Structure 1
Amino acid sequence: MLAIAGGTASGKSILAKALALHRPGAVVLIHLDDFYVPAHEPHRGARAVSATGAETLDWNHPRSIDQDAAAAALQAAATRGQHRMTVVELLFALSLPKIADHATWRIYVHTPDDIRLARKLMRKIEVQHQDPLVSLRNYLLSGRERHAEYVAPTGPKGRVLGAGSRVDAGTCFAASWGPAPVGRRCPARLALPIGEVGDLGNEDMTIFVLGRGRPA
Protein backbone atom coordinates (compact mmCIF):
# COMPACT_ATOMS: atom_id res chain seq x y z
CA MET A 1 0.00 0.00 0.00
CA LEU A 2 1.17 3.50 -0.86
CA ALA A 3 -0.19 6.28 1.38
CA ILE A 4 -0.09 9.85 0.04
CA ALA A 5 -0.55 12.82 2.38
CA GLY A 6 -0.15 16.58 2.10
CA GLY A 7 -2.08 19.79 2.61
CA THR A 8 -5.37 20.65 0.97
CA ALA A 9 -4.88 21.38 -2.76
CA SER A 10 -1.23 20.33 -2.64
CA GLY A 11 -1.51 17.90 -5.56
CA LYS A 12 -2.13 14.58 -3.76
CA SER A 13 -5.03 13.60 -6.00
CA ILE A 14 -3.10 14.56 -9.14
CA LEU A 15 -0.28 12.19 -8.20
CA ALA A 16 -2.61 9.39 -7.07
CA LYS A 17 -4.72 9.57 -10.24
CA ALA A 18 -1.60 9.67 -12.43
CA LEU A 19 -0.38 6.45 -10.83
CA ALA A 20 -3.75 4.76 -11.25
CA LEU A 21 -4.06 5.84 -14.88
CA HIS A 22 -0.51 4.83 -15.68
CA ARG A 23 -1.03 1.29 -14.37
CA PRO A 24 -4.83 0.78 -14.53
CA GLY A 25 -4.63 -2.97 -14.15
CA ALA A 26 -2.11 -2.92 -11.32
CA VAL A 27 -3.20 0.01 -9.14
CA VAL A 28 -6.45 0.56 -7.27
CA LEU A 29 -7.09 4.06 -5.92
CA ILE A 30 -8.94 4.72 -2.67
CA HIS A 31 -9.85 8.29 -1.71
CA LEU A 32 -10.11 8.56 2.06
CA ASP A 33 -12.36 11.59 1.53
CA ASP A 34 -15.07 8.98 1.02
CA PHE A 35 -14.76 7.91 4.67
CA TYR A 36 -15.68 11.07 6.55
CA VAL A 37 -18.36 10.34 9.13
CA PRO A 38 -21.80 11.75 8.20
CA ALA A 39 -21.85 15.50 8.84
CA HIS A 40 -25.42 15.30 10.17
CA GLU A 41 -24.47 12.94 13.02
CA PRO A 42 -23.31 15.33 15.78
CA HIS A 43 -22.02 12.60 18.09
CA ARG A 44 -19.46 11.31 15.59
CA GLY A 45 -16.23 12.93 14.45
CA ALA A 46 -14.78 16.27 15.51
CA ARG A 47 -17.02 19.33 15.47
CA ALA A 48 -16.20 22.97 14.73
CA VAL A 49 -18.03 26.28 14.50
CA SER A 50 -17.98 27.62 10.94
CA ALA A 51 -17.47 31.26 10.00
CA THR A 52 -21.21 31.30 9.36
CA GLY A 53 -21.82 30.56 13.05
CA ALA A 54 -23.18 27.07 12.44
CA GLU A 55 -21.73 23.97 14.08
CA THR A 56 -20.44 21.50 11.50
CA LEU A 57 -18.16 18.54 11.04
CA ASP A 58 -14.51 19.57 11.27
CA TRP A 59 -13.29 18.47 7.83
CA ASN A 60 -9.69 19.26 8.78
CA HIS A 61 -9.55 16.95 11.81
CA PRO A 62 -8.43 13.29 11.51
CA ARG A 63 -11.05 12.22 14.06
CA SER A 64 -13.70 13.03 11.45
CA ILE A 65 -12.59 10.03 9.38
CA ASP A 66 -14.16 6.63 10.06
CA GLN A 67 -10.87 4.77 10.38
CA ASP A 68 -12.52 1.39 10.86
CA ALA A 69 -14.49 1.70 7.62
CA ALA A 70 -11.42 2.94 5.75
CA ALA A 71 -9.25 0.12 7.11
CA ALA A 72 -11.94 -2.41 6.15
CA ALA A 73 -11.97 -1.08 2.57
CA LEU A 74 -8.20 -1.35 2.35
CA GLN A 75 -8.28 -4.89 3.71
CA ALA A 76 -10.97 -5.83 1.22
CA ALA A 77 -8.89 -4.47 -1.65
CA ALA A 78 -5.88 -6.44 -0.47
CA THR A 79 -7.88 -9.62 0.05
CA ARG A 80 -9.36 -9.55 -3.44
CA GLY A 81 -5.86 -9.69 -4.87
CA GLN A 82 -6.89 -8.07 -8.15
CA HIS A 83 -4.26 -5.33 -7.99
CA ARG A 84 -0.59 -5.17 -7.17
CA MET A 85 -0.83 -1.85 -5.38
CA THR A 86 -3.42 0.04 -3.35
CA VAL A 87 -2.93 3.81 -3.35
CA VAL A 88 -4.69 5.85 -0.65
CA GLU A 89 -4.68 9.64 -0.39
CA LEU A 90 -5.92 12.20 2.11
CA LEU A 91 -4.48 15.31 3.71
CA PHE A 92 -3.83 13.45 6.97
CA ALA A 93 -3.44 9.91 5.62
CA LEU A 94 -0.18 9.67 7.57
CA SER A 95 -1.82 10.83 10.80
CA LEU A 96 -4.28 7.91 10.92
CA PRO A 97 -2.71 4.91 12.70
CA LYS A 98 -4.93 2.32 11.00
CA ILE A 99 -3.79 3.62 7.62
CA ALA A 100 -0.20 4.81 8.04
CA ASP A 101 0.95 1.87 10.16
CA HIS A 102 0.08 -0.52 7.33
CA ALA A 103 1.59 1.52 4.50
CA THR A 104 4.46 -0.13 2.66
CA TRP A 105 5.45 3.26 1.25
CA ARG A 106 4.60 6.80 2.34
CA ILE A 107 4.70 9.99 0.29
CA TYR A 108 4.17 13.58 1.39
CA VAL A 109 3.26 16.15 -1.26
CA HIS A 110 4.41 19.64 -0.34
CA THR A 111 3.14 22.84 -1.97
CA PRO A 112 3.58 26.37 -0.54
CA ASP A 113 0.70 27.49 1.67
CA ASP A 114 -0.21 30.50 -0.45
CA ILE A 115 -0.49 28.37 -3.59
CA ARG A 116 -2.64 25.81 -1.78
CA LEU A 117 -4.96 28.48 -0.40
CA ALA A 118 -5.34 30.10 -3.83
CA ARG A 119 -6.19 26.75 -5.41
CA LYS A 120 -8.70 25.95 -2.69
CA LEU A 121 -10.46 29.29 -3.14
CA MET A 122 -10.61 28.80 -6.89
CA ARG A 123 -12.14 25.36 -6.36
CA LYS A 124 -14.71 26.75 -3.91
CA ILE A 125 -15.71 29.50 -6.35
CA GLU A 126 -15.65 27.59 -9.64
CA VAL A 127 -16.88 24.16 -8.55
CA GLN A 128 -18.83 24.60 -5.33
CA HIS A 129 -19.99 28.17 -5.97
CA GLN A 130 -19.20 29.07 -2.37
CA ASP A 131 -18.55 32.55 -1.01
CA PRO A 132 -14.72 32.79 -0.86
CA LEU A 133 -14.97 35.04 2.19
CA VAL A 134 -16.44 32.14 4.18
CA SER A 135 -13.57 29.89 3.08
CA LEU A 136 -10.99 32.49 4.07
CA ARG A 137 -12.55 32.98 7.48
CA ASN A 138 -12.72 29.23 8.07
CA TYR A 139 -9.07 28.95 7.09
CA LEU A 140 -8.14 31.58 9.66
CA LEU A 141 -10.49 30.15 12.31
CA SER A 142 -9.24 26.57 12.19
CA GLY A 143 -7.92 25.41 8.82
CA ARG A 144 -4.41 26.80 9.20
CA GLU A 145 -4.16 25.52 12.78
CA ARG A 146 -5.36 22.03 11.86
CA HIS A 147 -2.81 21.82 9.04
CA ALA A 148 0.00 22.79 11.44
CA GLU A 149 -1.16 20.24 14.02
CA TYR A 150 -2.14 17.21 11.96
CA VAL A 151 -0.70 17.48 8.46
CA ALA A 152 2.62 19.34 8.45
CA PRO A 153 4.26 17.15 11.15
CA THR A 154 3.92 14.08 8.90
CA GLY A 155 6.42 15.56 6.42
CA PRO A 156 8.53 16.65 4.70
CA LYS A 157 11.51 14.88 6.25
CA GLY A 158 12.41 12.30 3.63
CA ARG A 159 14.23 12.13 0.36
CA VAL A 160 13.01 14.45 -2.39
CA LEU A 161 11.60 12.26 -5.14
CA GLY A 162 10.48 15.01 -7.47
CA ALA A 163 10.29 18.78 -7.62
CA GLY A 164 8.58 21.10 -10.05
CA SER A 165 5.95 18.41 -10.69
CA ARG A 166 8.25 16.10 -12.65
CA VAL A 167 9.26 12.98 -10.78
CA ASP A 168 12.81 11.66 -11.09
CA ALA A 169 12.57 9.29 -14.05
CA GLY A 170 15.28 7.05 -12.60
CA THR A 171 13.43 6.38 -9.38
CA CYS A 172 11.18 3.46 -8.63
CA PHE A 173 9.74 1.81 -5.55
CA ALA A 174 10.58 -1.80 -4.74
CA ALA A 175 8.97 -3.74 -1.92
CA SER A 176 12.27 -5.30 -0.90
CA TRP A 177 14.45 -2.21 -0.51
CA GLY A 178 12.25 0.90 -0.73
CA PRO A 179 13.15 3.83 -3.00
CA ALA A 180 15.92 2.72 -5.36
CA PRO A 181 18.84 5.04 -6.17
CA VAL A 182 18.82 6.69 -9.57
CA GLY A 183 20.07 4.25 -12.16
CA ARG A 184 19.21 1.14 -10.18
CA ARG A 185 16.53 -1.01 -11.77
CA CYS A 186 13.81 -2.62 -9.69
CA PRO A 187 12.55 -6.13 -10.48
CA ALA A 188 9.34 -5.73 -12.50
CA ARG A 189 7.32 -7.83 -10.08
CA LEU A 190 8.19 -5.49 -7.20
CA ALA A 191 8.45 -2.12 -8.87
CA LEU A 192 6.10 0.83 -9.08
CA PRO A 193 7.96 3.20 -11.46
CA ILE A 194 6.71 6.58 -10.29
CA GLY A 195 8.97 8.40 -12.73
CA GLU A 196 7.13 7.00 -15.75
CA VAL A 197 4.03 9.08 -15.02
CA GLY A 198 5.95 12.10 -16.35
CA ASP A 199 5.00 15.72 -15.82
CA LEU A 200 2.07 16.15 -13.44
CA GLY A 201 1.35 19.73 -14.52
CA ASN A 202 1.96 21.11 -11.03
CA GLU A 203 5.17 23.11 -11.03
CA ASP A 204 4.83 24.18 -7.36
CA MET A 205 4.71 20.62 -6.03
CA THR A 206 7.55 18.77 -4.32
CA ILE A 207 7.21 15.04 -3.60
CA PHE A 208 8.93 13.57 -0.54
CA VAL A 209 9.48 9.86 0.02
CA LEU A 210 9.28 8.99 3.72
CA GLY A 211 10.04 5.81 5.64
CA ARG A 212 7.59 3.01 6.28
CA GLY A 213 4.72 3.40 8.77
CA ARG A 214 3.48 6.37 10.75
CA PRO A 215 5.90 9.15 11.74
CA ALA A 216 6.90 9.14 15.40
Structure 2
Amino acid sequence: MQTQIPFFIGIGGGSGSGKSELARALMSAFPADQAVLVELDSYYHRKLAFPVEIQGNYDHPLALDEDLLVGHLQALKQGQTIEKPCYDFTVHDRSNRLETVQPKRFILIDGILLFALQRVAALVDLSVFVDTPADIRLARRLLRDVQERGRTLEDVLIQYLTTVRTMHEAYVEVFKTQADLLIIGTDPLEREVAAVLAAIE
Protein backbone atom coordinates (compact mmCIF):
# COMPACT_ATOMS: atom_id res chain seq x y z
CA MET A 1 0.00 0.00 0.00
CA GLN A 2 1.25 3.46 -0.93
CA THR A 3 1.63 5.42 2.32
CA GLN A 4 4.22 8.03 1.32
CA ILE A 5 3.45 10.89 -1.07
CA PRO A 6 5.63 10.43 -4.17
CA PHE A 7 8.40 12.93 -4.89
CA PHE A 8 8.20 14.18 -8.49
CA ILE A 9 11.44 14.86 -10.38
CA GLY A 10 10.98 16.64 -13.71
CA ILE A 11 13.82 16.36 -16.23
CA GLY A 12 13.63 18.70 -19.21
CA GLY A 13 15.94 19.98 -21.93
CA GLY A 14 16.26 20.01 -25.69
CA SER A 15 16.01 17.04 -28.01
CA GLY A 16 19.33 15.20 -27.83
CA SER A 17 20.39 16.94 -24.63
CA GLY A 18 20.81 13.67 -22.74
CA LYS A 19 17.83 14.08 -20.42
CA SER A 20 16.45 10.60 -21.12
CA GLU A 21 19.86 9.06 -20.50
CA LEU A 22 20.02 10.92 -17.19
CA ALA A 23 16.51 9.75 -16.27
CA ARG A 24 17.43 6.11 -16.95
CA ALA A 25 20.66 6.46 -14.96
CA LEU A 26 18.73 7.91 -12.03
CA MET A 27 16.33 4.98 -12.19
CA SER A 28 19.30 2.65 -11.72
CA ALA A 29 20.73 4.80 -8.92
CA PHE A 30 17.62 4.63 -6.74
CA PRO A 31 17.01 1.63 -4.47
CA ALA A 32 15.21 -1.26 -6.14
CA ASP A 33 11.48 -0.70 -6.60
CA GLN A 34 11.68 2.90 -5.37
CA ALA A 35 11.33 4.81 -8.66
CA VAL A 36 9.35 4.80 -11.88
CA LEU A 37 9.78 6.75 -15.10
CA VAL A 38 6.96 8.49 -16.99
CA GLU A 39 8.05 9.73 -20.44
CA LEU A 40 6.14 12.61 -22.01
CA ASP A 41 6.69 10.96 -25.41
CA SER A 42 4.07 8.38 -24.42
CA TYR A 43 1.42 11.11 -24.32
CA TYR A 44 1.56 12.41 -27.88
CA HIS A 45 -1.93 12.65 -29.34
CA ARG A 46 -2.98 9.89 -31.69
CA LYS A 47 -2.68 10.87 -35.35
CA LEU A 48 -6.46 10.89 -35.74
CA ALA A 49 -6.81 13.27 -32.77
CA PHE A 50 -3.81 15.47 -33.51
CA PRO A 51 -4.64 19.21 -33.14
CA VAL A 52 -5.32 20.71 -36.56
CA GLU A 53 -3.98 24.11 -35.55
CA ILE A 54 -0.38 22.89 -35.21
CA GLN A 55 -0.47 20.74 -38.39
CA GLY A 56 1.66 17.82 -37.25
CA ASN A 57 4.17 19.89 -35.28
CA TYR A 58 5.32 17.37 -32.65
CA ASP A 59 7.55 19.96 -30.96
CA HIS A 60 4.64 22.16 -29.87
CA PRO A 61 3.07 21.73 -26.38
CA LEU A 62 -0.35 21.09 -27.95
CA ALA A 63 1.05 17.90 -29.50
CA LEU A 64 0.80 16.30 -26.06
CA ASP A 65 -2.38 15.09 -24.36
CA GLU A 66 -1.90 17.21 -21.24
CA ASP A 67 -5.27 16.29 -19.74
CA LEU A 68 -4.46 12.58 -19.77
CA LEU A 69 -0.91 13.17 -18.51
CA VAL A 70 -2.01 15.38 -15.62
CA GLY A 71 -4.73 12.91 -14.67
CA HIS A 72 -2.21 10.07 -14.59
CA LEU A 73 0.33 12.04 -12.54
CA GLN A 74 -2.32 13.06 -10.04
CA ALA A 75 -3.42 9.43 -9.75
CA LEU A 76 0.17 8.33 -9.06
CA LYS A 77 0.47 11.05 -6.44
CA GLN A 78 -2.61 9.62 -4.73
CA GLY A 79 -1.13 6.14 -4.73
CA GLN A 80 -3.15 4.80 -7.64
CA THR A 81 -1.98 2.58 -10.50
CA ILE A 82 -2.23 3.94 -14.07
CA GLU A 83 -2.31 2.42 -17.55
CA LYS A 84 0.23 4.52 -19.44
CA PRO A 85 -0.05 4.73 -23.24
CA CYS A 86 2.92 3.74 -25.40
CA TYR A 87 4.15 5.65 -28.45
CA ASP A 88 5.61 3.92 -31.51
CA PHE A 89 8.16 6.19 -33.21
CA THR A 90 8.49 3.88 -36.21
CA VAL A 91 4.92 4.69 -37.26
CA HIS A 92 4.69 8.08 -35.52
CA ASP A 93 1.55 7.16 -33.62
CA ARG A 94 0.39 5.93 -30.24
CA SER A 95 0.20 2.15 -30.18
CA ASN A 96 -2.67 0.13 -28.74
CA ARG A 97 -0.41 -1.25 -26.01
CA LEU A 98 -0.75 0.04 -22.44
CA GLU A 99 1.88 -0.17 -19.71
CA THR A 100 0.84 -0.65 -16.09
CA VAL A 101 2.66 1.84 -13.85
CA GLN A 102 2.62 1.47 -10.09
CA PRO A 103 3.16 4.49 -7.80
CA LYS A 104 6.65 4.61 -6.30
CA ARG A 105 8.55 6.83 -3.85
CA PHE A 106 10.14 8.74 -6.74
CA ILE A 107 8.29 9.59 -9.95
CA LEU A 108 10.63 10.71 -12.72
CA ILE A 109 9.05 12.71 -15.55
CA ASP A 110 11.16 13.11 -18.68
CA GLY A 111 10.28 15.30 -21.65
CA ILE A 112 11.33 18.12 -23.93
CA LEU A 113 8.18 20.15 -23.30
CA LEU A 114 7.75 19.28 -19.63
CA PHE A 115 8.11 22.82 -18.30
CA ALA A 116 5.96 24.32 -21.06
CA LEU A 117 3.01 22.30 -19.76
CA GLN A 118 2.11 24.46 -16.77
CA ARG A 119 -0.17 21.95 -15.03
CA VAL A 120 2.52 19.28 -15.31
CA ALA A 121 5.31 21.60 -14.15
CA ALA A 122 3.19 22.56 -11.12
CA LEU A 123 3.29 18.93 -9.92
CA VAL A 124 7.09 18.75 -10.02
CA ASP A 125 8.96 18.89 -6.70
CA LEU A 126 12.46 19.16 -8.23
CA SER A 127 12.91 20.58 -11.72
CA VAL A 128 16.08 19.63 -13.61
CA PHE A 129 17.17 21.20 -16.91
CA VAL A 130 19.83 19.45 -18.97
CA ASP A 131 21.73 22.15 -20.88
CA THR A 132 23.64 20.92 -23.93
CA PRO A 133 25.09 22.91 -26.90
CA ALA A 134 22.89 22.94 -30.01
CA ASP A 135 25.46 21.26 -32.28
CA ILE A 136 25.80 18.31 -29.92
CA ARG A 137 22.02 18.01 -29.54
CA LEU A 138 21.56 17.96 -33.31
CA ALA A 139 24.32 15.38 -33.83
CA ARG A 140 22.79 13.09 -31.19
CA ARG A 141 19.31 13.51 -32.68
CA LEU A 142 20.57 12.64 -36.16
CA LEU A 143 22.24 9.45 -34.95
CA ARG A 144 19.24 8.39 -32.87
CA ASP A 145 16.54 9.05 -35.45
CA VAL A 146 18.42 7.45 -38.33
CA GLN A 147 19.70 4.41 -36.43
CA GLU A 148 16.81 3.73 -34.05
CA ARG A 149 13.73 5.20 -35.70
CA GLY A 150 14.37 4.41 -39.35
CA ARG A 151 14.30 8.00 -40.59
CA THR A 152 16.41 9.53 -43.34
CA LEU A 153 19.07 12.16 -42.74
CA GLU A 154 17.19 14.63 -44.95
CA ASP A 155 13.92 14.09 -43.10
CA VAL A 156 15.54 14.70 -39.71
CA LEU A 157 17.26 17.88 -40.89
CA ILE A 158 14.10 19.28 -42.49
CA GLN A 159 12.14 18.72 -39.27
CA TYR A 160 14.93 20.30 -37.23
CA LEU A 161 15.02 23.43 -39.39
CA THR A 162 11.25 23.84 -39.73
CA THR A 163 10.00 23.08 -36.20
CA VAL A 164 12.54 21.69 -33.73
CA ARG A 165 14.84 24.70 -33.56
CA THR A 166 12.11 27.34 -33.37
CA MET A 167 10.03 25.36 -30.87
CA HIS A 168 13.12 24.80 -28.72
CA GLU A 169 13.68 28.54 -28.50
CA ALA A 170 10.02 29.24 -27.71
CA TYR A 171 9.08 26.39 -25.37
CA VAL A 172 12.26 24.80 -24.01
CA GLU A 173 15.23 27.16 -23.69
CA VAL A 174 13.14 29.84 -21.97
CA PHE A 175 12.72 27.60 -18.91
CA LYS A 176 16.44 26.97 -18.38
CA THR A 177 16.86 29.76 -15.83
CA GLN A 178 13.70 28.75 -13.96
CA ALA A 179 14.75 25.18 -13.14
CA ASP A 180 15.79 24.23 -9.62
CA LEU A 181 18.89 22.48 -10.94
CA LEU A 182 20.89 23.10 -14.13
CA ILE A 183 22.83 20.10 -15.40
CA ILE A 184 25.58 20.43 -18.04
CA GLY A 185 24.73 17.79 -20.62
CA THR A 186 28.37 17.27 -21.65
CA ASP A 187 29.47 16.35 -18.10
CA PRO A 188 30.15 12.69 -17.25
CA LEU A 189 26.87 10.92 -16.54
CA GLU A 190 28.05 9.94 -13.05
CA ARG A 191 28.52 13.60 -12.16
CA GLU A 192 25.06 14.48 -13.47
CA VAL A 193 23.44 11.72 -11.40
CA ALA A 194 25.37 12.76 -8.29
CA ALA A 195 24.20 16.37 -8.68
CA VAL A 196 20.53 15.34 -8.85
CA LEU A 197 20.83 12.97 -5.89
CA ALA A 198 22.52 15.71 -3.85
CA ALA A 199 19.71 18.13 -4.71
CA ILE A 200 17.10 15.60 -3.56
CA GLU A 201 18.88 15.08 -0.25
Same fold (TM over 0.5): yes
Map of 1:201 onto structure 2: none
Over 3 Å counting, the alpha-carbon distance change for 1:2 and 1:39 in structure 2 is same
The answer to which structure, 1 or 2, has the higher relative contact order (CA under 8 A, 6+ apart) is 2
The one of 10, 19, 23 equivalent to 1:16 is 23
Map of 1:164 onto structure 2: 187
Does structure 1 residue 107 correspond to structure 2 residue 128? yes
Does structure 1 residue 85 correspond to structure 2 residue 106? yes
2-structure distance, mates of 1:45, 1:73: 25
2-structure distance, mates of 1:47, 1:170: 37
8 A Cα contact 1:161 1:168, kept in partner: no
Map of 1:28 onto structure 2: 36
Q: How many residues align?
A: 167
1-structure distance, mates of 2:52, 2:77: 27
Report the secondary structure of 1:139's partner residue.
helix
The one of 13, 26, 31 equivalent to 1:6 is 13
What amino acid is aligned across from residue 141 of structure 1 in structure 2? T
8 A Cα contact 1:4 1:106, kept in partner: yes
Over 3 Å counting, the alpha-carbon distance change for 1:111 and 1:71 in structure 2 is same
Residue 123 of structure 1 deviates from its aligned partner by: 1.2
Map of 1:211 onto structure 2: none
Give the gaps of 5 or more residues in structure 1.
49-56, 174-178, 180-191, 194-216
Deviates more, 1:150-159 or 1:161-170: 161-170
- Aligned alpha-carbon RMSD (Å): 2.2
Matches within 5 A, 1:1-216: 1-23=8-30, 24-42=32-50, 44=51, 46-48=53-55, 57-80=56-79, 82-156=103-177, 160=182, 164-165=187-188, 166-167=191-192, 169=194, 172=197, 179=199, 192=200
8 A Cα contact 1:26 1:84, kept in partner: yes
Deviates more, 1:149-158 or 1:70-79: 149-158
2-structure distance, mates of 1:142, 1:73: 28
2-structure distance, mates of 1:96, 1:159: 18
Over 3 Å counting, the alpha-carbon distance change for 1:74 and 1:132 in structure 2 is same
What amino acid is aligned across from residue 152 of structure 2 in structure 1? D
Residue 156 of structure 1 deviates from its aligned partner by: 4.0
2-structure distance, mates of 1:171, 1:29: 15
Seq. identity, %? 28
8 A Cα contact 1:9 1:116, kept in partner: yes
Report the secondary structure of 2:78's partner residue.
helix
Over 3 Å counting, the alpha-carbon distance change for 1:45 and 1:31 in structure 2 is farther
TM score, norm. by length of structure 1: 0.70
Residue 7 of structure 1 deviates from its aligned partner by: 0.2
Map of 2:89 onto structure 1: none
Which of these two proteins has the greater Rg computed from alpha carbons? 1
8 A Cα contact 2:129 2:182, kept in partner: no
2-structure distance, mates of 1:3, 1:66: 17
1-structure distance, mates of 2:168, 2:138: 12
TM score, norm. by length of structure 2: 0.74
Report the secondary structure of 1:9's partner residue.
coil
Query: Which one has a larger percent helix, Structure 1 or Structure 2?
Result: 2
